[in-house]
A and B are shown apart, each in its own frame.
Chain A
């Protein structure tokens, strides 16, 4: 997208917007830190609309520049200076991030409020500053124009994200946070080692300059594989996912939403920058197929283990694992073997659209799960019946967010799926089309499993132990603003497919939902049916004590037993992969295999 001329020159005064989008959250975090007490929340909430306005302004300006909006810090041009650049991808990610952060801010207002009379409490104070920190880190990731700034931004993001996991200070969340931090640090050191190699080879780390210089020499291939694997560790792509489920499931709802929707997208975005912008011509069939194969593994493992979960938040965390895999499918589809280069086309647009839809939908689902937890005092899936009456808005947000993830028209995920399928057909890679469709069906399976519980009849035996004093005292009231924030985000994700993205993403103008009504209905119906079958075969449910359903369940006997055994096998595989030494060795092995795959050029 970025033209060769404009990318190294400042775009005049509008470039200052880029600085503003980083300064607003960072300045707000500093001021909020100094002000303290009740004022922390107000300063954070005041910064949200300002930051959103700046992001929208950048997104409006980028198409007019015809390439990228550039700001040179101190007027020094690369390679000596540092540039901030916003291309179409940065612009859409900035806006989505600002929207999701704003919704999370509205949602968190009730959870992280300083009680009247109290001077200051640790958790609220920390939460608001970390929220701004994550936001500032992400904006820097999206705008940074050189690999070292990306490293610093990534670290800011990690340091702000890790304490979000353990805001409540329970031992298991502290453990999850520590594991997250230590593994993320391993990833970032690998990334840093890669930048050193690149600097040693070319004397610059600027993305645009590097993209003109890099050739397939050993140092670059080693750097590429080290950086990719380091970033995968931070994105938690299977098999490097040991930290994600406990961290995302243990954090408070607003924290989970932030971590799952946005934080993993930061390192994902850098992988995209690296593969599409820095070294598009150095990739190989083997490397792209391998990266997407890891994504397919993540979809399968994450979905099956999600179907076996007892707790709603863990189910959503494993769903994130599967959706992260979905994001990596685009790499194989974007590789053009003829040109021996990564092409910015349908596949990239589909992948980015999927990332945006997932950000909005997953934040909505985690916020809805938090409301359900507050309303019922627990989040055991088996005893969720009745949640629909207590928090209808949250249940609706969960359902809408889930449907948006499945890819029902007109959601962003539907358009993303169309784009990915189209590029799979164009490049003749039918196997990725199968994976894409299967991913939608699996997503639908765990959504149906939860919705069947929520909307089903109240199960007396399951609720008997639920009405103990312990859970009853944990119950609380859920304000309308929390449910409205979750609903709004879910609706956003569902409406993303209606936008014409050609101004920002590399798709032909007019690409939006265009299929006929029959196709649309077919696209909506078949993942639901397939998901239903998967949920019945693999899901965690007990047959009802009597009635016709029991006979149906009995008829399913052997198949169901096979499904349960398969699920148990996947859970064991997941537990095995999430041991520290196994994950560490996977990290090393992946780095070596990627290096070999990159050098195996066709």
Chain B
């Protein structure tokens, strides 16, 4: 089993765990962490792609590495923005759960006819 296959499978497992967590966890903080895990899986996959593209004396294709750095910066800013929003939300409500009011404005009302 070559190293790209091992790391590719690792990337798939990490991304799968992240996706599972992002869908299942009700708490936003855990969703943010799960998003980071999912992102890490994709970034690792970029690394695998870079390694597979190794040629001409390079240990890896440099373009995916450049892309992954940009991706990390984007994920970092996303996490910062999400945490800032979560802190504001916690300050405003004293709770860090998004469950309440999830369906607040779409229930069937019985006021007419």
Write the residues of chain A forming the contact surface with B, with a CB cutoff of 8 angstroms.
Answer: 148, 151-152, 155, 159, 162-163, 166, 169-172, 174-175, 177-179, 181-182, 185-186, 189, 192-193, 195-196, 199-200, 203, 245-246, 249, 305, 308, 310-311, 314, 540-543, 560-561, 564, 567-569, 571-572, 574-575, 578-581, 584-585, 587-588
Contact = CB atoms under 8 A, between A and B. Distances in A.
Contacts of A579: 102-103
A245 B106 contact: yes
Most chain B CB within 10 A, of A189, A193, A585, is at A189
B10 interface: no
Contacts of A564: 112-113
A588 B23 contact: yes
A10 B93 CA distance: 54
B108 A572 contact: yes
15 contacts: A152-B70, A159-B81, A162-B81, A174-B88, A175-B101, A182-B32, A186-B35, A193-B42, A196-B64, A200-B49, A310-B109, A542-B112, A560-B113, A571-B108, A584-B24
A382 to B, nearest CB: 9
Given A171-B89, A542-B112, A581-B24, 9 more contacts: A159-B78, A175-B98, A181-B85, A185-B35, A249-B105, A308-B108, A579-B102, A580-B98, A588-B19
A392 to B, nearest CB: 28
B103 A578 contact: yes
Contacts of B42: 189, 192-193, 196
A378 to B, nearest CB: 15
Given A542-B113, A572-B108, A148 B70 contact: yes
Contacts of B98: 175, 178-179, 580
Contacts of A195: 67
Contacts of A310: 109
Contacts of B93: 171
B106 A178 contact: no
Interface string B50-90: 00110000000101100100110010011001100110110
Q: Which of A172, A174, A185, A574 has the most CB of B within 10 A?
A: A185
A542 B61 CA distance: 67
Contacts of A314: 105
Given A196-B49, A249-B105, A174 B113 contact: no
Contacts of B104: 172, 246
Interface string B27-48: 0100110010011001001101
A178 B74 contact: no
A179 B23 CA distance: 12
A170 B70 CA distance: 33
B85 A185 contact: no
A541 B101 CA distance: 25
Contact of A193 (B28, B45, B102, B108): B45
A308 B113 CA distance: 12
Contacts of A580: 23, 26, 98, 102
A543 B113 CA distance: 7
A265 to B, nearest CB: 21
B92 A199 contact: no
B82 A203 contact: no
B39 A189 contact: yes
A7 to B, nearest CB: 20
Contacts of B88: 166, 169, 174
A182 B74 CA distance: 14
A578 B113 contact: no
Nearest to A564: B113
Among B15, B24, B109, B113, max chain A CB count under 10 A is at B113
B70 A189 contact: no
A178 B74 CA distance: 17
A182 B23 contact: no
B107 A178 contact: no
Interface in B3-36: 15, 19, 22-24, 26, 28, 31-32, 35
Contact of B23 (A159, A175, A308, A585): A585
Pick the 8 closest A-B CB pairs, nearest first. A584-B23, A568-B108, A575-B103, A200-B49, A171-B92, A174-B89, A575-B106, A571-B108
B23 A155 contact: no
A540 B46 contact: no
B106 A182 contact: no
B78 A172 contact: no
A202 to B, nearest CB: 11
Contact of A178 (B28, B77, B108): B28
Contact of A305 (B24, B39, B61, B106): B106
Contact of A175 (B22, B49, B89): B89
In the complex, which of the residues B38, B42, B85, B106 has the most CB atoms of chain A within 10 Å of its own CB atom?
A: B106
Contacts of A186: 19, 22, 35, 38
Given A148-B67, A186-B22, A189-B35, A203 B28 contact: no
B71 A162 contact: no
A571 B52 CA distance: 50
Contact of B15 (A177, A193, A569, A574): A193
Contacts of B109: 308, 310
Contacts of A203: 53, 61
A392 B104 CA distance: 32
Contacts of B71: 151, 192
A199 B106 contact: no
Contact of A162 (B28, B70, B74, B85): B85
B28 A182 contact: yes
A246 B15 CA distance: 29
A575 B89 contact: no
B86 A178 contact: yes
Contact of A199 (B22, B67, B102, B107): B67
A199 B64 contact: yes
A540 B82 contact: no
A584 B25 CA distance: 11
A205 B88 CA distance: 38
Nearest to A583: B23
Contacts of B64: 196, 199
A574 B85 CA distance: 26
Nearest to B24: A581
B52 to A, nearest CB: 6
A196 B68 CA distance: 10
A203 B67 CA distance: 12
Contacts of B15: 193
A177 B67 CA distance: 28
B107 A571 contact: yes
